Amino acid sequence: MFVDVEAGARPWVDVYRLCIGFITPRPIALVSTISPRGVSNLAPFSFYNMVSGNPPVVLFCPTQRRTGTAKDTLRNVKDTGEFVIATVTVEIAPQMVRCAADLPYGQSEFDFGGLTPRPATKVRPPLVNEAVVNMECRLRQIITTGSDVGGGNIVLGDVLAIHVDERILDERGLVDPRKLPTVGRLGGAWYCTVTDPYELEIPKV
């Protein structure tokens, strides 16, 4: 199969569905924000990664709604400049999926999803109490790639603080992947888990 994206051979949604089927597995950011009125919001995003170590910077990418409007998470980040990213593991995957429901603006996904907010130390949005890792972040920059339906927004944030459950650490204080059953996003309604991690060493030349 050959898809000439530049020539517009397929509708954008077909290209999107094709790409999310092979750009896998994608880590899931469970993003906590808060509205100017103090209402907490919680939503998962699988366009997510770390892009810098010094300073530590992460990104996640909320796309436009099917109506072409901004998602609540993006609205809150623009208004407050703060967010928290929680790591999704097998234990909280069902709650994470519930947080993807399209609730009315002003209704908290913490309640709907069955997760517990916990005060952060440096930002106003709460941590996810059930998550083994939470990162407190301050907005660095938003890059908009398109304002129509399907368009994206790259939200870059500086990591201010990291909360890690010591049960997932090894003797060096690093994360032991065998103790962290993260969930990855595939295409459609498919997800995956980390059940058999293994090591490969980069050759020294």
Please give the distance of CA 108 from its chain centroid, rounded to a whole number: 17
pLDDT in tens, 75-105: 999 999 999 999 999 999 999 999 999 888 8
Percent of the chain residues topping a pLDDT of 70: 100
Output the pLDDT for position 69. Answer: 75
Class of the 26-189 domain? mainly beta
Whether 83 contacts 73, CB under 8 Å: yes
Output the pLDDT for position 6. Answer: 87
What does pTM read for this prediction? 0.94
Q: With cut-offs at 50, 70 and 90, classify the pLDDT of residue 7.
A: very high
pLDDT in tens, 115-152: 999 999 999 999 999 999 999 999 999 999 988 888 89
Residue type (1 letter), 158 = D
- Return the CA Rg of the chain: 18
CA distances from 26 to 72, 77, 88, 172 (A): 22, 22, 11, 27
159 pLDDT above the threshold of 90: yes
Q: With cut-offs at 50, 70 and 90, classify the pLDDT of residue 68.
A: low
Does residue 25 have a cis bond before it (omega within 30 degrees)? yes
Helix locations, the chain, DSSP H: 12-22, 72-80, 93-98, 109-113
DSSP state of 61: -
Q: Where are the domains of the chain?
A: 26-189
